[in-house]
Every structure is written in C-alpha cells, then in structure tokens.
Amino acid sequence: MKFPQDIFKQAHELGLVNCHVSESCGGMGLHTLEGCIIAEEMAYGCSGVGTAIEANTLASMPVILGASEEQKKKYLGRLIDAPIQAAYCVSEAGAGSDVAAAATTAEKKGDKYILNGSKMWITNGGVAQESGGWYFVMAKTDPTASAGKAFTGFIVDAQSPGVTVAPKLINMGQRCSDTRPIFFDNVEVPAENIIGQEGNGFKLAMGAFDNTRPPVAAGAVGVARRAMDEAMQYASERKTMGTTINQHQSVAFMLADMAMNVEAGRMLTWKSAYEIDQGRSNTMYASMAKAFAGDACNKIVADAVQIFGGAGFNTEYPVEKLMRDAKIYQLYEGTSQIQRVIISRHMEARGPGGLAP
C-alpha cells in the first residue's frame, strides 16, 4: 500500500508524468488523446500507479488553463525539474458531487489570503507535501455570490505553515495511491498565487475535468482490458465437462461482451479526447466516456471474477484486485450519476438531432 515512489521517478525520467505541460515550461506538450493512450497502458499494468501519475495532471490542469506565464513556468516547471507530486484540492466531506457546497474559505488581508477549511479524499495529498510539491485549492472568497463567482483558485505550497495532512486513508482498491484529508488552519497564501482572477475558481475546477475525464475513462478501459485478457487466458486453460470453458457458450458470450465494451469504451474515450484537442467543447462526450467506461469496467471485472469462479475470489489470481480497483472509476472525478446529469442537460440544450454526426 506504499506510494510507488521508485516507479514514479522512473516514469518521470521517461516523460510519462506531466505529459500535458507545454514545451515552453519544459514539458512535452502532449495532446489529450496521446495522454489517453498512455493512461490505458498504465492502468492495464496497475491503475493505482496510473492514478498516482495522473493526479499530477489533474492538479496541473487549472494552472495550464488559467495561470499566468510566470506562474506556469514556476509551478509547472517544478514538476518537470524533479519527480515531485501535486494535488487537486476541491472535494470536501460535505462537497463531493455538490462542489458548489464547498466551505473552505480564503479571506483577503493585505497582499495575502488566509485559508481555512479542510479537503477530503485528496489524491497525492501526503506525498505532495513530503516531496515539496504544491496544491491547487478551490476556496470561497465571496460567500454572497453564486457558485460561479464565489470561489477562487489558489496555488498553495504544500509545506506552508498551517497545512496539516492526515494519515493515509485505506481504500478498497488502488491502494498504492495516496489519498488523504488535508486541513488548512490560517494558511497564508500570497495574492500572486491566485490563478486568473478572484471568483474564477469554480470555472477552473470544472474546466479541468474536460481535460482529465478522458484519461480517467482510458484508465477504466485499461483495467477492463486487463480483466478481459486474464479471463480469456484462464478460460482457455480451465476445463469442465471435457472441454475448456471458453468453448461453453455461456462463457464465450461473456468474453464477447467484454470485447465489445472495451472497444466501445475506447472509441468513446478517444472521441472525447479528440474533440477537446480540436479546440471544441467536449464536456458531454467526456461525461459519456467517463460514465460508459467506468460502468463497463465494473461489469467486465465482475464477469472476469465469475469466469474464474472460486479462484477469482482470492488473491491467487489478479482479478480480485482488478475488481477492487475498478469501483473508483464510478466515483472519482464525478460519479456515474453526475455524468448522466451533465449528459442529459447537454442533450436538452442541443435538442432533437443534436447528436447527429
């Protein structure tokens, strides 16, 4: 359950971390589609490692979208120069799917803001502090304004006085990923660390998801493909009633359904990535990809365990780990239900014929 620091360092050396950072800041400047291809392969090996790496992208995205060039070079440059971690601090105990309910505050005092509150389920929250990294924090600066203008995005050095990182949460799956509660007690943040302008935080936080939900969906595809491959291999060796079980129609059809959903999930994921790479709004497609791939992944890993039978219920084979790892894809970066809310609203706005090719 330890954070895979050695693997993270190797991935950093190979350029597989912070792929979306522009060349002007020392990065590779990869597109979202290219990131999705990497994310699928990472998750095929271990989605916990993939999440540990992808968390840097999520934290970086508000900076990429809205920060000044000086901020980008300073904070994105730090991620390029050394294998440190960053974390996206938006969710709270009472504000998961309902992001607008976030209660963390930032009060302006002179040329600084005083940050108070707590964040929950923060991926890379502990290792970002240990490595000398930083946080993107969304905090309320105007309690009287609507959600769209009430919050501001800040870059907060993780080792700032007043930042307390709680013990690591023990998750169902992806256990090497570092998930923590984080507390901010009168943390002083320079006004120069505001991303964009005051009141733009909610837009930045939500805009990041258009870029990061496709790679998350790709991760779900990777886990699903791994489960399918494990099930195919086992079904080609396990014999019942005088033949390998992949010759039984009930099992063969389960494998066929897996293949259809893996391919469909990948194509929808790639479409959502391609749309934003072309400079078009992909919000609806990103939600479609995230919901479809996450739900399909959970069905596929459950069917893989079923094909393994009793052997799939213990740790001798990897499918039990894949089943535990898969669940988070229906939860983080917006639950499957929230994705359907987004999709339905976009459908309503487009009207009949709005999805014509």
CA atoms within 13 A on the CB side of 114: 6
Burial grade of 70 (CB within 10 A; 0-12, 13-18, 19 or more): exposed
> Residue 167 burial by CB count (10 A; 0-12/13-18/19+): exposed, middle or buried?
exposed
Active site residue 333: yes
Nearest to 179 by CA among 101, 231, 124: 124
- The CA-based diameter of the chain, rounded to the nearest angstrom, is 80
Closest CA to 104 of 135, 139, 136, 148: 139
**3-state DSSP assignment of residue 272:** helix
Residue 87's H or E segment, with its range, is strand 86-89
Cβ atoms < 10 Å from Cβ of 108 = 14
Catalytic residues, by residue number, are 333
